[in-house]
Chain A
């Protein structure tokens, strides 16, 4: 069927299927998955500016539900979340303005597309490394050998611990004490810097940019993983909400596509939560690596063939 706002011809079932996969990822890992929406929508023939705006709108609905659950579990550092918004919202606007500039120069598909490819390939590499590192076995002399002490997911390499220490010691006031995140003293500017970069990526590529903000919160600011997940979701509601508004005003949101996709995500989230009881996170991370690479291939293919809805 034709979605009149973006002019894309997509079967609603395909959108629900994409939403389902994204929902499964969200249910499994708490965050993430929206990075797959971009390649899928672009592959379906949605113009890149609509891909970005629509992905942001879809993320709002998803994050509200997930953030409510994390709030009940006490995983949200509200103080950190509100400070992060000071960086994220201007970042989202900067990303949206960049899209507008690229729309005027008619390079939006190429620039956003290639940035997407770099992010997807980078994430595939990181997920493979993370998944492989935590598998309970190793390949030695062509045989699978049980690995005695798989490192805990919270283990941080020495370099990362050193980096966190350096960032928390930045002596530019004002400083904050974050009780929920167990951070004694941190400069507000470190938090705003991290969230600003995340916001730019969110406004420029769509979605919540959790692929960037989550590792930054954990490995740069030193926030515990479960608090980083909850706080990121809480913060995404405001940043993606603002992103939806600004992109919709600029004519980059097809809300019909977002609503249809979100129905699949709601079911997928339940399925993902059910799966966590039977499959380990490391195996799943490895299973999603081909999906990310497929996303990159879809975008590269889309950039080299005439786009069905180009010129809108």
Chain B
């Protein structure tokens, strides 16, 4: 039980590190390059901004879900190989 928990926490830790690196890169792009464009859109074309906002959050939701599945798959495969 304790060993299982340890393994899971370790796997989760690895997943978090990979996630953190990917997210840092992603946020850098979003906040540095998209922030101004989105702000201008917010000021000048509210309807287009609304569409882009909804699309962005939907796409991010789906992409993060796929990414999480992929990472979990890799971590599990890695764990099975280690057993």
Contact = CB atoms under 8 A, between A and B. Distances in A.
Interface stretch (A31-39, A103-111, A181-189, A262-270): A262-270
Q: What's the dominant secondary structure at chain A's contact region? A: helix
Nearest to B12: A274
Nearest to A63: B61
Interface of B: 5, 8, 12, 15-16, 19, 23, 26-27, 30-31, 34-36, 38-39, 42, 46-47, 49-54, 56-58, 60-62, 64-65, 67-68, 72
Interface string A164-180: 00000000000000000
Interface of A: 1, 3-5, 12, 16, 57-58, 60-65, 68, 241, 244-246, 248-249, 251, 253, 255-256, 258-260, 262-263, 266-267, 269-271, 274, 278
B65 A255 contact: no
Interface residues of chain B: helix, strand, loop or mixed (majority): helix
Nearest to B53: A255
Contacts of B39: 4-5
> Which of the listed residues A1, A3, A5, A58 has the most CB atoms from chain B within 10 Å of its own CB?
A5
27 contacts: A1-B31, A3-B35, A12-B27, A12-B31, A16-B23, A61-B58, A61-B60, A61-B64, A62-B61, A63-B61, A65-B61, A65-B62, A241-B58, A244-B50, A244-B57, A246-B50, A248-B46, A248-B53, A249-B46, A255-B38, A255-B52, A256-B38, A263-B23, A263-B60, A266-B19, A266-B67, A274-B8
